[in-house]
Chain A
Amino acid sequence: MKAGFQTVFFKEMKDVLRDRKTLLLMIVLPIVVVPLLLNLLIGFVMKKEQEAQTEMLEYIVFGDEFAPKLAKIFEAAKDFKKVTLGSRNELVAAIREDRIDFGLVIPEKTAARLRGQEQASIEFHFDNASIASKVEDRVKERVGEYNEELTTARLAKLGVSSGQKQKALLEPIRLEEKGTGNMREIIGDRIGGMVPYFFIAFCFMGVVYPAIHLGAGEKERGTLETLLLAPIPRYQVVLGKFLAVFCGGIIAVLLNLASLGTWLAIKAGELRGIIGMLIGSIDSLDLVLLALMLIPVAAMFAALLLSVSIFARNSAEASTLISPFGIVLIVPAVLAMLPGVELNWFWASVPVTNVSLAMKELLKGTMDYTMLIAILSSSTLIAGGLLFFCAKWFNRESVLFRM
């Protein structure tokens, strides 16, 4: 004969898995929606990046006669198109209204200053509000070409003709960077903080609906009262429900990981460069460890949300009470992205942050595996404490029969 909690668990799993909303959140979302969204998002970003690099930039130059060589460099470039504008006063408005991409204003004294080996200033007007814009880089590249030409000529005039000597004059001390971090470490540090956040969010989403359904939902449907009359201790009812909610989180995480892993494996070829390299360097052990660390997180979420849900009078109230947790849980996940927050014995005991930091380390390939023991122990201890609280909470009449 099964123990009471096993009977409750199997029944709850059957109940939860027969629900379309749960299936949608737990199975369809990770298997279909996540890869689809990733595909669309990355495809869109790559397309925009490509467009920004190659699109024709329309520009206007006022005073091109004062720096004719520079004006010719822009005119000769195939991806720049010179246009005309009524007056200089229209320049800012024309950029804001997207009629032109940028404008150069070359002052009258520019020619004289250049001739006199002095420094000349040219006004560069562009929309600096657009982060994705490549206008600044592309214009600076062209001006840089001309600057280099002028520098070489000026130095030659001063008698410094050799390329090596010119370099030595311009940069007496060159800092030769010899970073100890490999590319995986660098990229892992930059984007590694974001990845755990997604997995923690998926884990949370997988737990929410079963928690509401098996807690407040039971109250709402009037089935909780009959369940309380079963001749099994209430902690077994809680344990059965907790395991079902916990499984919801684990299924969601594993499916998300599997789905993401499959997507990355397929796309790795297309995602060349550093991202491709980072993905290629994550091995299956890392993925297993990633999943392992999310187990106590799912347990924490399950115990916490089940406690909240059982307190609520109905599903609507449970949703309202649970929603803020979605925001609150971002905080420890975001902490892991802050500079200076590194995985050590202190942070290994801070729930959620510890897992986020460990995931970051895993992606960087610099994981200190002894920390895993601390992370798993502290997270399991907290999850156990929350489960104990949930069981105590479930024994309170004021919670179960809250009017």
Chain B
Amino acid sequence: MLQISSLTKVFRLARSKRARGERDPRERGRRFHAIDGIEFGVRRGQVLGLLGQNGAGKTTLLRILSTSLKPTSGVVLCDGEDLTKNPLEIRKRIGFVSGNTGLYGRLTAREMLHYYGKLHGMTAATLDERIGLLVGKLDMGRFLDQRNETLSSGMRQKVSIARALIHDPEILLFDELTTGLDVAAAESVLTVVAACKEEGRTVLFSTHHMDEVNQLCDSVVIIHEGKLCFEGCVDAMRSQTGESFLDKAFLKLTRPKKEVAIT
């Protein structure tokens, strides 16, 4: 369903951002290759875990897939349709939530869902029906009419997820969804992701928590310094590294080779 080929994103570096000490291998002169020649595919209904250390390029990749950023080169096909050719149509099929995406503090959760629903061209009747459904699914009834600024982190993340689901998208992009949430809130959010999988939605799920990968993901893609360094299922990750714990397997796959030799 989603086919990513030779995807590269290059940013122009501001003078102040250029490395003065040890240079990042992705920094080439004034240019920074945030992702470089990434290729992988995601099947319909699959949950794909997107792993990588901080700054690996996960967020850039998700931003390209969500059409916020345009790739420098390469192609992303969504059911055979080029993402960059008709982004407005693709956006109707995509929902995006990140740990950093915020809410309008002065609006209530209901008002915010109405806003995004209207932006997606939904009628008032469809919107009310859809909000009712999401409120039940995400257990948002208690705080639906409270201003977002008064909500806890867990509640806020639920509103964010409801916002991403309001237009019933086929593809969901989750970027570090549980960052900053307590155990209960994280569990509740992960239940929603599992439900999305059951509903047959395609999910790209970026995380640093290997237990979440183990629990939810059908396959995994690891990005290291902008390049793809692993693609396969969770078991393949274990077998390729000889590690039973995913944390260790991940570290082996992303650690520079000389460091692996020392340990």
Contact = CB atoms under 8 A, between A and B. Distances in A.
B69 A221 contact: no
Contact of A15 (B66, B102, B107): B107
B8 interface: no
A44 interface: no
Contact of A397 (B69, B94, B106): B69
A44 to B, nearest CB: 39
B68 A229 contact: yes
Report, as a range, how many residues of chain A touch the other chain: 20 to 34
Interface stretch (A110-118, A127-135, A230-238): A230-238
A231 B107 contact: no
Contacts of A1: 118, 121, 123
Nearest to B87: A231
B44 interface: no
Contact of B119 (A222, A225, A231): A231
Contact of A231 (B68, B88, B163): B88
A4 B115 CA distance: 10
Contacts of B14: 403
Interface in B111-150: 111, 115-116, 118-121, 123
Interface in B3-42: 11-12, 14, 17
B252 interface: no
Nearest to B66: A229
Given A1-B121, A232-B88, A223 B67 contact: no
Contacts of A227: 119
Contact of A221 (B92, B102, B119): B102
Nearest to B164: A226
A229 B69 contact: no
Interface residues of B, number: 36
B70 A222 contact: no
B106 A4 contact: no
Contacts of A231: 88-89, 91-92, 119-121
A230 B120 contact: yes
A167 interface: no
A320 interface: no
A99 interface: no
A194 B142 CA distance: 55
A398 B119 contact: no
Given A225-B68, A397-B70, A232 B104 contact: no
A2 B118 CA distance: 8
29 contacts: A4-B119, A7-B115, A8-B119, A14-B106, A15-B104, A221-B102, A221-B105, A222-B98, A222-B101, A223-B101, A223-B104, A225-B96, A225-B101, A226-B160, A227-B119, A228-B68, A229-B66, A229-B67, A229-B68, A229-B94, A229-B96, A230-B119, A231-B88, A231-B92, A231-B121, A398-B11, A398-B12, A401-B69, A403-B14
Interface of A: 1-2, 4, 7-8, 11, 14-15, 18-19, 221-223, 225-233, 397-398, 400-401, 403
Given A222-B102, A232-B119, A401-B69, 16 more contacts: A11-B111, A14-B106, A15-B107, A19-B106, A221-B102, A221-B103, A225-B98, A225-B100, A226-B116, A229-B66, A230-B91, A231-B119, A232-B88, A398-B12, A400-B68, A401-B68
